[in-house]
């Protein structure tokens, strides 16, 4: 909101003056109203504790974050470029594997990754769109430049919070919202439906789309139900589906109905006990065979996780150059691959300055934040690194940018990242908005909702609403 | 067309909502009617216990009301019914309008909140009364915001199937021994009507002439009162006919059972009941409601797959 000199950045001016007029009491009041409305709507996620399980709302901050048109244009172009390249990469490694033969990426790094699915080899994916829904995590560097921290290509979540936050911020700051010419995010559900339909449109004129959820105990269940409701398609669980003669059906009150496109919010491992994990009860036996036979489309395709693997991540700029012959518009965060001995030595020597992440893990688990860790924790991680270097990468402690948040009635800076949502089938479309995740503990850098993070709305301004500068 | 699991959840949401409302009302009316220690009050306590399926029970009535309302170990308490209704609704959250869902979610959150037991203690009548009127809001929201298609019909069938059984059980507890032994104290009779939420409609039909025969006639056979057993069975039959339209459901189809139950109510009259006692026909209502429930489950939810494969 503020520039380095402490002046209000111009695109924030209307919001800032409105906040001043409202005053602390009115703001706290609106914050309470907002939280209550989330709770009543059931916009909650489930926290699994040692003994109790509770439903909580993701703490939501009142103040929207504002991104001017010019900044967004660059982000949008960068995200489109990146997802195009990653889809080409997936089509290649599950096809001719040219990029591996050409030695751009070490073969064992891709084929040896736990998220690589040999079962996907030579499988036809419509439009080459392996990733239909992507939710990349971006951070803003001190220079103001957005860089990509992580590509989430498996089953990214959070889009329902983007939509709910928008609903809330429009109610909280209606005047500023009108004046600011904020671009709409509300079309996301119908764009998602169009994307999913187009994955089967070529051979099924009116494809039956369903959302596959692990069920009501999943922490993102609210979102699954929300998207199904707004798209007007059935929300199914594994037990609702059966495969017969290579065709997927759902059990309805009037018998079996054919299913054409499955927007699955279940991880690869669990979608089919016959193909993947045998102990999974969330999936559908025979689903993967039906998929291989081409009678159903699974979105995102199984096996996309190999392209958001934290080690493959380091090669994304090279991937973009290889397939598109372009330089990456959005840069990566500098990343050390511990599989390279020289880089491992560097990481071990600088453990107190680096963030170390396990390659396969996500959601803020299996991670060491060097500067905040105790000597004992660092030693434990150093041992793990030496034992299994392939499993780790390290990055400099990233200074996440901050945005003002309402904390106990006062405006205070908190660290934030940015998760825009990108849809891809025939075309790649970036929704002009995002989920801004907030690390609510002062000084904390962890924004994951499972670890005490919150969120806020993100306003992307239309062309002439941005910085005059 | 709707998922079998979804239809089942909506049906159960309807049943639990109706149960929560009925038990709240029983507890509220019982507390209100037993403030003194008259004979009528003893009678009311016995009726309540009978309607809950525990005719031999004893103990303090305020404790009983608390157990009926907030006891987590009592599977038919209001709290547990609300929790189950909400859990079922949450599993089919995409099928229920937000307006409907929010009514139920508010109720649930209030009933499980840490303050619930204090607000019950402070004013149990107000606490229970509020739950009843909020459940009316839920039904109103469902009726006026949900599309009256398949899903809604499953939910409403759940409501009426539960209602037919609950009212039958209440009447059995009140008049099951035949009209000769029926309570005569006006207070006990008014209480039975209140427990069925029927006092005002009854007075408009029969004036303030309170006697067991009329009450039984009203709650069993009235065609217009939404809590009479005949009305409930009419509704069940109507909704099941819609749901079964265009489907091959086999011989034990639920709508045939519902038609039979409806006919039984339509062709019986109070004279017949006076002769043989109401107990027999009320027991039949309960048994046949259970049979309809099982037939619905067989026909719509747990059907054998090989019978429903699409034609190749």
Closest alpha carbon within chain B to A230: B94
What are residue A136's phi and psi, to 5 degrees?
Answer: -75, 150
For residue A245, being part of any structural domain is answered with: no
How far apart, in Å, are the Cα atoms of A190 and each of A226, A301, A423? 13, 20, 11
The alpha-carbon gap from A265 to the nearest alpha carbon of chain B, in Å, equals: 15
What confidence score (pLDDT) does residue A220 get?
87
Residues 311 through 370 of chain A touching chain B, CB cutoff 8 Å = none
Cβ–Cβ under 8 Å, residues A22 and A175: no
Instruction: State whether A42 and B90 contact (CB < 8 Å).
Output: yes
Both A167 and A63 in a single domain?
Answer: yes
pLDDT band at B85 (very low <50, low <70, confident <90, very high): very high
Instruction: State whether A239 and B300 contact (CB < 8 Å).
Output: no
pLDDT band at A339 (very low <50, low <70, confident <90, very high): confident
Instruction: State whether A41 and B105 contact (CB < 8 Å).
Output: yes
pLDDT band at A64 (very low <50, low <70, confident <90, very high): very high
Looking at the 3D structure of chain B, how many domains does it have?
1
Cβ–Cβ under 8 Å, residues A311 and A337: yes
Both A166 and A95 in a single domain?
Answer: yes
Query: Which tens digit of pLDDT belongs to each residue from A160-215?
Result: 999 999 998 998 899 899 888 999 999 999 999 999 999 997 778 899 999 999 99
Q: Are β-strands A410-419 and A435-439 bridged in parallel, bridged antiparallel, or unpaired?
A: antiparallel
Instruction: State whether A41 and B300 contact (CB < 8 Å).
Output: no
Instruction: State whether B94 and A242 contact (CB < 8 Å).
Output: no
d(CA A46, CA A239): 22
Q: Which domain holds residue B243?
A: 4-303
Q: Is the peptide bond before A42 cis (omega within 30 degrees of 0)?
A: no
Chain B residues in contact with A226 (beta carbon < 8 A) = 93-94
Both A174 and A63 in a single domain?
Answer: yes
- Name the least confident of A345-354, A412-421, B104-113, B240-249: B240-249
Chain B residues in contact with A251 (beta carbon < 8 A) = 3-5, 305
Q: How high is the mean pLDDT of chain A?
A: 89
What confidence score (pLDDT) does residue A51 get?
54
pLDDT band at A450 (very low <50, low <70, confident <90, very high): low
Does any CB of chain B come closer than 8 Å to the CB of residue A237? Answer: yes
Chain A residues in contact with B94 (beta carbon < 8 A) = 225-226, 228-229, 234-235
In 3D space, the residue among A145, A135, A139, A164 whose CA is nearest the CA of residue A402 turns out to be A139
For residue A262, being part of any structural domain is answered with: no
- pLDDT (mean) for B149-164: 96
**End-to-end alpha carbon distance in chain A:** 15
Instruction: State whether B102 and A39 contact (CB < 8 Å).
Output: no
Dihedral-angle region of residue A23 (phi above 0 means left; psi in -120 to 50 means alpha; beta otherwise): left
The residue whose two tokens read 């209602």 is B163
Chain B residues in contact with A57 (beta carbon < 8 A) = none
Residues 27 through 66 of chain A touching chain B, CB cutoff 8 Å = 39-42
The alpha-carbon gap from B248 to the nearest alpha carbon of chain A, in Å, equals: 9
Closest alpha carbon within chain A to B310: A256
In 3D space, the residue among B227, B21, B15, B51 whose CA is nearest the CA of residue B129 turns out to be B21
Does any CB of chain B come closer than 8 Å to the CB of residue A257? Answer: yes
- Name the least confident of A365-374, A433-442, B205-214: A365-374
Chain B residues in contact with A44 (beta carbon < 8 A) = none
Cβ–Cβ under 8 Å, residues A114 and A366: no
Does any CB of chain B come closer than 8 Å to the CB of residue A244? Answer: yes
Does any CB of chain B come closer than 8 Å to the CB of residue A188? Answer: no
Looking at the 3D structure of chain A, how many domains does it have?
2
Strand order in the sheet with A241-244: A241-244, A247-252, A255-258
Residue A422 corresponds to which tokens in the numbers above?
């990108």
Instruction: State whether B310 and A239 contact (CB < 8 Å).
Output: no
Chain B residues in contact with A42 (beta carbon < 8 A) = 90, 93, 101-102, 105
For residue A286, being part of any structural domain is answered with: no
The residue whose two tokens read 């790094």 is A109
Most confident of A72-81, A282-291, A371-380: A72-81
Closest alpha carbon within chain A to B100: A41
Considering only the beta carbons, identify the residue of B2, B105, B247 that sits closest to A42. B105
What confidence score (pLDDT) does residue B246 get?
73
Closest alpha carbon within chain A to B301: A253
d(CA A317, CA A332): 7
DSSP label at residue A112: T
d(CA A461, CA A183): 6
Most confident of B56-60, B206-210, B234-238: B234-238
pLDDT greater than 80 at residue A293: yes
Closest alpha carbon within chain B to A228: B94
d(CA B45, CA B59): 10
The alpha-carbon gap from A256 to the nearest alpha carbon of chain B, in Å, equals: 6
Is A245 exposed, middle or buried (CB count within 10 Å of its CB: 0-12, 13-18, 19+)? exposed
DSSP label at residue A384: H
For residue B311, being part of any structural domain is answered with: no
Final residue of a structural domain among A396, A419, A437: A396
What confidence score (pLDDT) does residue B149 get?
93
Q: Which H or E element spans position A356?
A: strand A354-358
The residue whose two tokens read 């199984």 is A302
Query: Which tens digit of pLDDT belongs to each residue from B260-275?
Result: 999 988 888 888 777 7
Q: Which domain holds residue A95?
A: 10-115+132-182+310-333+410-465
Considering only the beta carbons, identify the residue of B4, B101, B106 that sits closest to A251. B4
Instruction: State whether B98 and A222 contact (CB < 8 Å).
Output: no
Chosen for mutation from B5, B152, B302 (greatest number of chain A CBs closer than 10 Å) is B5
What confidence score (pLDDT) does residue A225 get?
92
pLDDT greater than 50 at residue B141: yes
Both A380 and A351 in a single domain?
Answer: yes
Closest alpha carbon within chain A to B311: A256
What confidence score (pLDDT) does residue A52 get?
58
Considering only the beta carbons, identify the residue of A40, A240, A244 that sits closest to B3. A240
What confidence score (pLDDT) does residue B104 get?
95
What confidence score (pLDDT) does residue A46 get?
67
Q: How many other CB atoms sit within 10 Å of the CB of residue B115?
A: 9
Residue A454 corresponds to which tokens in the numbers above?
């919150």
pLDDT band at B19 (very low <50, low <70, confident <90, very high): very high
For residue A382, being part of any structural domain is answered with: yes
Residue B28 corresponds to which tokens in the numbers above?
């509220």
DSSP H helices, A63-143, are 69-93, 98-101, 107-111
Chain A residues in contact with B109 (beta carbon < 8 A) = 39-40
- pLDDT (mean) for A373-398: 86
Considering only the beta carbons, identify the residue of B3, B109, B310 that sits closest to A234. B3
Q: How high is the mean pLDDT of chain B?
A: 90
Per CB distance under 8 Å, which residues of B are interface residues toward A?
Answer: 1-7, 87, 90-95, 98, 101-102, 105-106, 109, 150, 154, 243, 246-247, 300-301, 303, 305, 308-310, 312
For chain B, give the DSSP string: --BHHHHHHHHHHHHHHHHHHHHHHHHHHHHHHTSS--HHHHHHHHHHHHHTT-TT--S-HHHHHHHHHH-TT-TTSHHHHHHHHHHHHHHTGGGS-HHHHHHHHHHHHHHHSTTHHHHHHH-HHHHHHHHHHHHHHHHHHHHHHS-SSHHHHHHHHHHHHHHHHHHHHHHHHHHTT-GGGS---HHHHHHHHHHTT-HHHHHHHHTT---HHHHHHHHHH-SS-TTSHHHHHHHHHHHHHHHHTT----TT-HHHHHHHHHHHHHH--HHHHHHH-HHHHHHHHHHHHHHHHHHHIIIIIS--GGGSPPP-
The CATH number of the domain holding residue A366 is 3.30.1490.270
Q: How many other CB atoms sit within 10 Å of the CB of residue A346?
A: 14
The alpha-carbon gap from B209 to the nearest alpha carbon of chain A, in Å, equals: 46
Q: Which residues contact A343 (CB under 8 A, 6 or more apart)?
A: A336, A337, A394
What confidence score (pLDDT) does residue A433 get?
95
- Counted across chains A and B, CB pairs separated by less than 8 A come out at 81
For residue A287, being part of any structural domain is answered with: no
What confidence score (pLDDT) does residue B250 get?
61
Query: Which tens digit of pLDDT belongs to each residue from B23-75?
Result: 999 999 999 998 877 778 888 888 999 998 887 777 888 999 999 999 988 89
Helix, strand, coil abundance in chain A, percent, nearest 5: 40, 25, 40
Q: Give the angle B116-B121-B122 at the CA atoms, nearest 5°.
A: 100
How far apart, in Å, are the Cα atoms of A314 and each of A307, B2, B239? 10, 46, 60
Query: Which tens digit of pLDDT belongs to each residue from B166-200?
Result: 999 999 998 876 666 677 788 889 999 999 999 99
Cβ–Cβ under 8 Å, residues B20 and B78: yes
The alpha-carbon gap from A368 to the nearest alpha carbon of chain B, in Å, equals: 37
d(CA B57, CA A325): 83
For residue A454, being part of any structural domain is answered with: yes
Cβ–Cβ under 8 Å, residues B64 and B57: yes
In 3D space, the residue among B177, B195, B228, B181 whose CA is nearest the CA of residue B45 turns out to be B195
For residue B310, being part of any structural domain is answered with: no
Closest alpha carbon within chain A to B244: A254
What confidence score (pLDDT) does residue B296 get?
93
What confidence score (pLDDT) does residue B103 get?
94
Q: Which residues contact B40 (CB under 8 A, 6 or more apart)?
A: B33, B183, B185, B187, B188, B191
Cβ–Cβ under 8 Å, residues B231 and B223: yes
Considering only the beta carbons, identify the residue of A228, A239, A252 that sits closest to B2. A252
What confidence score (pLDDT) does residue A50 get?
52
For residue A36, being part of any structural domain is answered with: yes
pLDDT greater than 90 at residue A38: no
d(CA B10, CA B91): 9
Q: Which residues contact B60 (CB under 8 A, 6 or more apart)?
A: none
Query: Which tens digit of pLDDT belongs to each residue from A65-111?
Result: 999 999 999 999 999 999 999 999 999 999 999 999 999 999 999 99
For residue B297, being part of any structural domain is answered with: yes
Considering only the beta carbons, identify the residue of B2, B94, B305 that sits closest to A229. B94
Chosen for mutation from A236, A252, A253 (greatest number of chain B CBs closer than 10 Å) is A253
Cβ–Cβ under 8 Å, residues B129 and B28: yes
């Amino acid at each position: 909101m503020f520039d380095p000199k402490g002046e209000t950045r111009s695109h924030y001016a209307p919001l800032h003056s409105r906040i001043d007029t409202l005053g602390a009491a009115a703001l706290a009041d609106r914050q309470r109203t907002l939280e209550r409305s989330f709770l009543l709507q059931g916009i909650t996620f489930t926290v699994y504790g040692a003994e109790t399980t509770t439903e909580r709302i993701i703490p939501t901050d009142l103040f929207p974050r504002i991104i001017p048109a010019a900044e967004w244009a660059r982000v949008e172009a960068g995200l489109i470029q990146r997802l195009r390249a990653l889809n080409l990469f997936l089509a290649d490694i599950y096809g001719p594997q040219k990029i591996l033969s050409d030695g751009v990426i070490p073969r064992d790094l891709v084929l040896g990754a736990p998220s690589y699915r040999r079962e996907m080899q030579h499988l036809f994916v419509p439009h080459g769109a392996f990733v239909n829904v992507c939710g990349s995590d971006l951070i803003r560097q001190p220079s103001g430049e957005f860089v990509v921290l992580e590509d989430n290509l498996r089953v990214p979540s959070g889009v329902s919070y983007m939509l709910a936050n928008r609903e809330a911020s429009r109610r909280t700051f209606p005047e500023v919202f009108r004046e600011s010419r904020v671009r709409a995010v509300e079309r996301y559900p119908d764009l998602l439906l169009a994307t999913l339909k187009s994955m089967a449109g070529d051979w099924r004129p009116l494809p039956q789309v369903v959302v596959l959820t692990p069920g009501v105990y999943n922490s993102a269940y609210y979102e699954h139900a929300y998207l199904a409701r707004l798209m007007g398609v059935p929300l199914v669980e594994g037990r609702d589906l059966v495969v017969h003669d290579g065709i997927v059906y759902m059990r309805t009150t009037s018998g079996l109905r054919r299913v054409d496109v499955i927007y699955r919010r279940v991880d690869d491992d669990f979608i089919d006990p016959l193909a993947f994990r045998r102990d999974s009860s969330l999936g559908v036996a025979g689903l993967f065979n039906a998929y291989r036979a081409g009678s159903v489309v699974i979105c995102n395709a199984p096996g996309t996780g190999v392209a958001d693997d934290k080690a493959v991540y380091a090669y994304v700029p090279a991937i973009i150059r290889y397939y598109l012959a372009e330089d990456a518009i959005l840069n990566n965060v500098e990343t050390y691959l511990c599989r390279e001995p020289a880089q491992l030595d560097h990481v071990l020597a600088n453990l107190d300055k680096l963030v170390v992440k396990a390659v396969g893990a996500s959601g803020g688990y299996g991670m060491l934040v060097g500067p905040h860790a105790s000597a004992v924790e660092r030693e434990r991680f150093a041992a793990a690194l030496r034992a299994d270097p392939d499993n780790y990468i390290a990055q400099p402690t990233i200074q996440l940018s901050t945005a003002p948040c309402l904390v106990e009635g006062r405006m205070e800076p908190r660290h934030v990242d940015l998760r825009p949502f990108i849809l891809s089938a025939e075309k790649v479309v970036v929704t002009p908005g995002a989920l801004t995740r907030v690390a609510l503990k002062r000084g904390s850098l962890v924004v994951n909702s499972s670890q005490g993070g919150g969120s806020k709305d993100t306003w992307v301004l239309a062309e002439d609403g941005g910085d005059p500068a | 067309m709707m998922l079998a699991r979804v239809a089942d959840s909506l049906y159960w949401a309807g049943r639990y909502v109706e149960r929560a409302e009925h038990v709240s009302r029983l507890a509220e009316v019982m507390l209100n009617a037993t403030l003194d220690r008259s004979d009528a009050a003893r009678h009311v306590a016995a009726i309540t216990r009978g309607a809950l399926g525990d005719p031999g029970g004893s103990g303090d009535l305020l404790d009983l009301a608390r157990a009926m309302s907030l006891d987590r170990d009592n599977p038919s308490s209001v709290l547990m019914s609300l929790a189950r209704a909400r859990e079922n609704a949450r599993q089919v959250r995409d099928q229920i309008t937000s307006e409907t869902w929010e009514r139920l979610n508010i109720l649930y959150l209030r009933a499980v909140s840490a303050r619930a037991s204090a607000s019950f203690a402070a004013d149990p009548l107000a606490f229970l009364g509020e739950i009843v009127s909020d459940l009316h809001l839920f039904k109103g929201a469902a009726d006026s915001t949900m599309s009256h298609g398949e899903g809604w019909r499953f939910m409403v069938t759940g409501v009426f199937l539960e209602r037919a059984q609950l009212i039958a059980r209440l009447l059995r507890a009140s008049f099951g021994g035949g009209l000769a032994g029926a309570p005569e104290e006006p207070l006990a009779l008014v209480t039975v009507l209140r427990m069925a939420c029927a006092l005002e409609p009854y007075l408009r039909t029969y004036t303030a002439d309170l006697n067991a025969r009329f009450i039984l006639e009203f709650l069993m056979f009235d065609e217009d009162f939404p809590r009479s057993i005949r009305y409930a069975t009419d509704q069940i039959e109507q909704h099941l006919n819609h749901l079964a339209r265009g489907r091959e459901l086999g011989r034990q189809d639920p709508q045939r059972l519902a038609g039979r139950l409806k006919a039984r109510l339509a062709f019986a009259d109070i004279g017949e009941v006076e002769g043989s006692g109401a107990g027999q026909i009320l027991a039949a209502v309960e048994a046949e409601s259970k049979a309809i429930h099982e037939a619905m489950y067989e026909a719509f939810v747990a059907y054998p797959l090989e019978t429903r494969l699409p034609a190749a």
